[in-house]
Chain A
Amino acid sequence: MSSTTARNDTSAVRRARAGRVLTYSFLLVLAVIYIFPFVIAVVTSFKTEPDATANPLALVPHPPTTSAFHELYHGQDFPTWVKNSVIVTLSVTFLRVFLDSLAGYALARLRFRGRAAAFATIVAVMAVPGVVLLIPKFLIIRQLGIYDTYYGMIVPLLVDAAGVFIMKNFFESIPISVEESARIDGASLFRIYWSIVLPMARPALITLFILSFQASWNELAHFVISAQSASLNTLTKGVAQLASGQLGSGNRYPLKLAASTLMTIPVAILFFVFQRRIMNASSGAVKE
């Protein structure tokens, strides 16, 4: 009796273990598939062009070289692209976080006529694919006379519906009594927003900051329609032009992928720096 139970137990354990191995193998394969293109990009950026052409999927460069990076730095406008990307991304990110949170706060807390309609419109905007708006945006930017300027590249990106939506929802989760308490303490509306609500919204702000940074750093379509001068090329646009092969001979894989690799670094750093902060929500305001 007891031996049968024991045998049953061991077979059950074995079955469970086999299942686990299977599950993890599957997950591992998936993970590798996802990360493989990135690994190839990094590796290829250290290859010579003949090597990259002959063995595009080889995981070890033969021989390893940094010539692609040299070429990128000396032979291309890479520094200009970086400068433009940094200017545009930082302006967009900081202003977007500020403006989205202002709009979100207004929609969450202020009572005004048309509030529901305004919010519904913003949600509706999220449903419209960005591509649809490219040509109208181009026309408006031209009309405003900011085509081919930083303004044209930055201003249309300053507010986004999803950000307003995120902030509104977060502000609504803050207990209203905290704000009422500040009102009684004599704080003005803007002071409440700035000194009480924004600090409490830090997790949401950080999330929005990362999303905005990443979105504007990786933005391409908008820069294509808002500027044409080479001096206003961002990283995305510059790399895209490399990739489209207008710069002459060969497939130039190492050059293009060196640029891509460098491009991902800032976003990666941002994620590493903030990933712990995102989880760290505030507590202790109220007793539930």
Chain B
Amino acid sequence: MAGITFDDVTKVYGDGYRAVSDLNLDVHDGEFIVLVGPSGCGKTTALRMIAGLEEISEGEIRIGDRVVNNLPPGARDIAMVFQNYALYPHMTVAENIGFALRMHKVPKAEARRRIQETARIIGLVDHLDRKPGQLSGGQRQRVAMGRAIVREPQVFLMDEPLSNLDAKLRVQMRAEISRIQRQLAVTTVYVTHDQVEAMTMGDRVAVMRKGLLQQFDAPQRLYDRPANLFVASFMGSPAMNVLEGSLELAGDGLICHVGTASFALPPEVLSARPALASQVGRPIAVGIRPEALDEPDRRDGGDGARLQGRVQAVEALGAEQLVHVGIDAKPVLVDHVLEGLADLGEDDDLEEIGIDTDGSRATVVARLEASAIVRPDEPIELAVDLRHLHFFDLDSGEALGE
């Protein structure tokens, strides 16, 4: 087994399109990393460069200590699971799983043993004689996994392997792939555009946008400390509310203005982000996660920070409800934010934010308990958890104050 290293890897296509720019990644041995980002961000290209299905324009990829730039895919000791499974339709499940072994001239008896063992891991022992056409989507997905597992490769590569499954099966297979990966401890690179898969499966997650690595960190760190507006908007569902605001000096402290509301920032926020003080007087982007908004009487310890607004819509999800609230504040609609949102498939939210592009009214989403009594078109007051505010530079989108 081995780690994977990207060293200033760049991919430029024949037509001059830069799919990946100066990518540096260090994947540890046995680690499960997820490449995530909207379509066209270069994640699949990066994966295919590891596989050897795309040539590397510049830089170096190493698997273990071996530079693989010029090795053909079959010599890289990797296995790949494709989005459409790419099974061989004329072969049985056993033959599909065993094809790579046949190619590597593994003795028949051993091949049979390994196919059996693999079938046990993926739970298809009874289906070894079937052809892919006779299997359900989930079973085909397992065969694709089995084909990778049986190789006992140094690296698993997975290209959106769950995107063709229905929602329920996807949750189940998510857990299954994680389990198998832990059991085999094979270094894994997993590509997805689904931030939930990224959050739940990866030991570390690399967020990409337009061929550039945005942030490479543990999922919780990405969520808690996004490096920029794009990562902030992309990770988390519903997405982070991003509003335009400004800072004002008040004695030793800072006051944050968002629309008509003003919050005195607690000392621990300032000490965690000392550079915030230099932003006084400039417009900035203030990020508030939906769970940082709550009913006033629930948020004790209260800094007294409040947002006033009017309920526009309520989505009751059973365990909680998502409340869309129109407030007097300017939404931040720069590309970083919109791109992050668009790929979540939350077109409705985008539209709601986008309605008021002239910009004095924004819609924020609050995650409230199911018991909260909220009705559309009624005024509402939301308590803001100031310890969980995020601050970004409006122009560059970079997180402020770190």
Say whether A184 contacts B79, CB under 8 Å.
yes
Q: Do A180 and B53 touch across chains, with their CB atoms under 8 A apart?
A: yes
* Given A183-B53, A184-B74, A282-B90, A287:B137 Cβ within 8 A: yes
Is the CB of B99 closer than 8 A to any CB of chain A?
A: yes
B137–A284 contact, CB under 8 A? no
Nearest CB in chain A to that of B103: its residue: A186
B113 at the interface (CB under 8 A from A): no
Contact B84 A184 (CB under 8 A): no
Instruction: Flag if A285 contacts B88 (CB, 8 Å).
Output: yes
Are A196 and B88 also in contact (CB < 8 A) when A184-B78, A186-B100 are?
yes
Q: Which of A183, A187, A195, A284 contacts B87 (CB 8 A)?
A: A284
B84 touches A175 (CB 8 A): yes
Residue A245 at the chain B interface, CB threshold 8 Å: no
Q: Is the CB of A185 within 8 A of B137?
A: no
- Asked whether A50 is an interface residue with its Cβ less than 8 Å from the other chain, the reply is no
- The verdict on B302 contacting chain A, using a C-beta distance below 8 Å, is no
Chain A residues positioned under 8 Å from B78 (CB to CB): 184
Are the C-beta atoms of A183 and B131 separated by less than 8 Å? no
The docked-state distance in angstroms from the alpha carbon of A182 to that of B51 is: 12
Q: Which residue of B lies closest to A286 (CB)?
A: B84
What is the minimal beta-carbon distance from B374 to any residue of chain A, in angstroms? 41
* Nearest chain A CB to B231 CB, angstrom units: 30
Q: Report whether A191 and B90 are in contact in the complex, using a CB–CB cutoff of 8 Å.
A: no
Query: Which of B80, B83, B90, B133 has a CB less than 8 Å from the CB of A184?
Result: B80
With a 10 A CB-CB cut-off, give which of A177, A180, A184 has the most chain B CB atoms. Answer: A184
- Shortest CB–CB separation between residue B71 and chain A, in angstroms? 12
The reply to whether the CB of B220 lies closer than 8 angstroms to some CB of chain A is no
| Most interface-central of B52, B73, B79, B134 (chain A CB within 10 A) | B73
A191 to chain B: closest residue by CB: B103
Which residues of chain B from 70 to 97 have a CB within 8 Å of any chain A CB? 72-76, 78-80, 82-90
Q: Are A177 and B103 in contact (CB under 8 A)?
A: no
How far does the alpha carbon of A187 sit from the alpha carbon of B105 in the complex, in Å?
Answer: 11
Partner of B89, one of A177, A187, A191, A283: A283
Contact B84 A287 (CB under 8 A): yes
Q: A181 to chain B: which residues have CB within 8 Å?
A: 80, 82, 86-88, 147
The minimal Cβ–Cβ distance linking B77 to chain A, given in whole angstroms, is: 10
B86 touches which one: A202, A282, A286, A288 (CB < 8 A)? A286
Report B-chain residues with C-beta under 8 Å of the C-beta of A283.
89, 133
- Distance in angstroms between the alpha carbons of A125 and B307 in the assembled complex: 75
Q: How large is the interface on B (under 10, 10 to 19, 20 to 34, 35 or more residues)?
A: 20 to 34
- B104 at the A interface (CB under 8 A): yes
The answer to whether residues A286 and B74 also contact, given A181-B80, A183-B53, A186-B100 and a CB cut-off of 8 A, is no
| Contact (Cβ within 8 A) B80 A287 | no
Residues of A within 8 A of B100 (CB): 184-186
Q: Given A181-B80, A187-B74, A200-B90, does the pair A286, B85 have CB atoms closer than 8 Å?
A: yes
Partner of A178, one of B53, B75, B86: B86
B133: A residues at CB distance < 8 A: 282-284
- B330: interface (CB < 8 Å): no
With A184-B79, A287-B140 as known contacts, state yes or no: A282 contacts B89, CB within 8 Å.
yes
Other-chain residue from A184, A195, A200 in contact with B73 (beta carbon distance below 8 A): A184
The reply to whether the CB of A19 lies closer than 8 angstroms to some CB of chain B is no
Q: B164 near A: Cβ within 8 Å?
A: yes
**Bound-complex Cα distance A284 to B52 (A):** 26
B96 to chain A, nearest CB (A): 10
Contacts of A285 in B (CB 8 A): 85-89, 132
Contacts of A182 in B (CB 8 A): 88, 99
A182 to B87, CA, bound (A): 9
A184: chain B residues at CB < 8 Å are 51-53, 73-74, 76, 78-80, 100
Query: CB-nearest residue of chain A relative to B75?
Result: A186
A186 touches B74 (CB 8 A): yes
Q: Cβ of B132 and Cβ of A284 under 8 Å apart?
A: yes
Residue of A nearest to B130 (CB): A284
Cβ proximity bits B44-55 to A, threshold 8 Å, 1 near / 0 not: 000000011100
Answer yes or no: A64 CB below 8 A from chain B CBs: no
Does residue A79 face the partner (Cβ distance < 8 Å to B)? no
Min Cβ gap A134→B in Å is 41
**Is A266 an interface position by the 8 A CB rule?**
no
- Which residues of A123-180 have CB atoms within 8 Å of chain B's CB atoms? 175, 177-178, 180
Please tell me if B135 contacts chain A, counting CB pairs below 8 Å: yes
Cross-chain contact B131 with A284 (CB below 8 angstroms): yes
Q: How far is the CA of A281 from the CA of B104 in the complex (A)?
A: 30
A286 → chain B closest CB, angstroms? 4
A285 CA / B133 CA spacing, docked (Å):
7
Q: Which A residue sits closest to B99, measured CB to CB? A: A185
A37 lies within 8 A of chain B by Cβ: no
Within residues 198 to 219 of chain A, which ones have a CB less than 8 A from any CB in chain B? 199-200, 202
A175 surroundings in chain B (CB, below 8 A): 84, 86
Central interface residue in B75, B76, B85, B164, by most chain A CB within 10 Å: B85
Residues of A with C-beta under 8 A to B79: 184
Q: Give bound CA distance, A87 to B95, whole Å.
A: 37
Which A residue sits closest to B165, measured CB to CB? A287
What is the chain A residue whose CB lies nearest that of B74? A186
Bound: A284/B131 CA distance, A: 8
B87 to chain A, nearest CB (A): 6
A184 → chain B closest CB, angstroms: 5
**Known: A184-B79, A186-B100, A187-B103. Contact between A284 and B89, CB under 8 A?**
yes
What residues of chain A have their CB less than 8 Å away from a CB belonging to chain B? 175, 177-178, 180-187, 191, 195-196, 199-200, 202, 282-288
Q: List 29 A-B contacts (CB under 8 A).
A: A175-B86, A177-B86, A178-B88, A180-B82, A180-B86, A181-B87, A182-B88, A182-B99, A183-B72, A184-B53, A184-B78, A184-B80, A185-B99, A185-B100, A186-B74, A186-B100, A186-B103, A186-B104, A187-B74, A187-B103, A200-B90, A282-B89, A282-B133, A284-B87, A284-B133, A284-B135, A286-B84, A286-B86, A286-B87
The 6 closest A-B pairs by CB, nearest first: A284-B133, A186-B74, A284-B132, A286-B84, A185-B100, A186-B103
Given contacts A187-B99, A286-B84, 19 further A-B contacts (CB under 8 A): A177-B82, A180-B73, A180-B82, A181-B88, A181-B147, A184-B74, A185-B99, A185-B147, A186-B100, A191-B103, A195-B99, A200-B89, A284-B134, A285-B86, A285-B132, A286-B82, A287-B85, A287-B137, A287-B140
